[in-house]
Amino acid sequence: MSQGSNFVDYVKICCRSGKGGSGSAHLHRDIRTSTGGPDGGDGGRGGHIILRGNSQFWTLLHLKYRKHIIAPDGLPGSSGTSTGKSGKDEILDVPLGTIAKDAETGEVIFEITQDGETKILTAGGRGGLGNWHFKTPTLQTPRFAQPGEAGKEEWMVLELKVLADVGLVGFPNAGKSTLLSVLSAAKPEIADYPFTTLVPNLGIVSYRDSKSFVMADIPGIIEGASKGKGLGFRFLRHIERNSVLLFMVPADTERSIQQEYEILKAELQDYNSELMQKPHLLAITKSDMLDEELVAEMKKELPANIPAIFISSVAQKNLVELKDMLWTAINS
């Protein structure tokens, strides 16, 4: 099974939390007491459905075929003011960068970004109060208790935004997959046609002195992606979580490097202007065929105010220097 079929960044699930246990209406009785007061305990709360961040997970694949997530009910209270046992929480491990949304309204409920972080997706019903809560000076032996609160049943959407240090941004065939495969142990599908990369590929790039950083090859965007054209929104979503954006423009582009960079930048600006606040770097790829004179000419036309470097993944040209630039940008 290819990584493409293993990578799932969207699931829709039906969550049913547990019902709260009912309170007890018990009256105290023992050998010496035939008309004791109320001692009915509270019901236990129903089980929650909880999301927990797990840094070992990269995909939502494990939830793809679990359409219904059901947490058990709380148990009723009993005599001696004993509280019923709460329903067991249903805990779902999810990758960091998972967003929970209400499936009907599309409203974002929360986001999981830390390993071990837990948040309640669907809360269980509260347990009912036992009759001892209702004792008053004028009502010494209440013979009623509160029923447990019903659980909730709701459809939720979980979406994943890939968390990486460096996001590769470029049109299809800019050489992103090739760079990732050369710099890391990732094995993305590589071919010379648009949209080879249909899912984000992640690779860990080794750096000096046993350091490393995570690089994500995000599927190529095309003009109009911010309006949902082509593979659009689904992929731009993954760029939001990267801390540094490496724009990649091939040396043999039909447009000027400046034009291509501006188009890419405009797509990101239209989608989310906050992406403009991230550090941007520019790599001119496939530059192994350029001589020094041509490189010098092309440098004059590069966009201002963005660190740029000419690289070739195939010829291993300037890759160490590129890693230095990226490491500096990540840690600046």
pLDDT tens-digit profile, the chain (332 residues): 334 455 677 899 999 999 999 999 999 887 777 777 899 999 999 999 999 999 888 788 899 889 999 999 999 999 999 999 999 999 999 988 899 999 999 999 999 989 999 999 999 999 999 999 999 999 999 999 999 999 999 999 999 887 678 888 888 777 888 888 888 865 544 444 333 344 567 777 888 887 888 888 766 555 454 455 444 455 566 666 678 999 999 888 888 888 889 988 887 887 777 778 888 999 998 888 888 888 888 888 888 888 999 998 888 888 999 999 999 998 87
Exposed, middle or buried: residue 147 (CB in 10 Å: 0-12, 13-18, 19+)?
middle
CA angle 314, 319, 320 (to 5 degrees): 145
By the 8 A CB rule, do 46 and 160 touch? no
pTM of model > 0.85? no
Q: Which part of the chain has CATH 3.40.50.300?
A: 166-330
CATH class of 1-160: mainly beta
Exposed, middle or buried: residue 281 (CB in 10 Å: 0-12, 13-18, 19+)?
buried
Q: What is the pLDDT of residue 101?
A: 95
First to last CA, the chain: 39
By the 8 A CB rule, do 58 and 17 touch? no
Binding positions are 170-177, 195-199, 217-220, 285-288, 312-314
Binding positions for Mg(2+) are 177, 197
Instruction: Indicate the fold that domain 166-330 takes in CATH.
Output: Rossmann fold (3.40.50)
H or E stretch at 142:
none
Q: How far is CA 323 from CA 165, 208, 251, 258, 310, in A?
A: 12, 9, 19, 23, 13
C-beta neighbour count of 195 within 10 angstroms: 14
Residue 39 to residue 251: CA distance in whole angstroms: 81
Binding positions for GTP are 170-177, 195-199, 217-220, 285-288, 312-314
Q: Which part of the chain has CATH 2.70.210.12?
A: 1-160
